[in-house]
Structure 1
């Protein structure tokens, strides 16, 4: 019994010491600033790398696990440019809205990037003006 208590106490102490250290290395989040390497990328790629790939994966193949993150690669739903634009602005199910985190230029750039990469070849561009037209008109979104 005493050995079990000592092992348990040692485990708790180890977690107390290691927890803060490991938490500092948790990886990127939506609020992280772009790294120097990311800042050298075109805007759409930069936004994808720093915001989207955490869920949709670096290769845009999506993932399943704690949630379902649809593949953006070779995705026929992206043919209609309004679809990804509205998804980024409004979110859906597990995907949050990015209308407060990204401005209209960033949203247009990332939508255009995804629609022309990862096996997608949709050339009609989304403009910042089109994004602004679907942004909510009141509240904290104004000015985007």
Structure 2
């Protein structure tokens, strides 16, 4: 099952319960939003899709998760990701290009931090969904 409960959604399990309601520590969704309420989203689908595409790589998403707690340098990110410097730098370059992180040089060291105010809220939402999915899968074996 994915963190969004997609494989079990039809059966009413995962984080999506019956009739599209959310389970776990998320709010219950009572009715679909009218099209007018979705208009801002519809008008910005290109930029929002670009944001999700940039976040859609596991390495980049992991970097963003670590930067959620504050500024980190490349060496710290290498250790946290158990990855080579070249790979971490490549992913950071993409995140910089997309405007999701900014770099600050201090001598020989480059420090990175989140630059886009939308990212912490999105990461927090994804973390809530992941926790709910994990709690749902723990109870599934009972």
The answer to whether the superposition gives a TM-score over 0.5 is no
Shorter-chain TM range is: under 0.3
Q: Which has the larger radius of gyration?
A: 1
Q: TM-score, normalised by structure 2?
A: 0.25
Q: Which protein has greater RCO, CA pairs closer than 8 Å, 6+ apart?
A: 2
Instruction: Point out the structure with the larger strand share.
Output: 2
Q: TM-score, normalised by structure 1?
A: 0.25
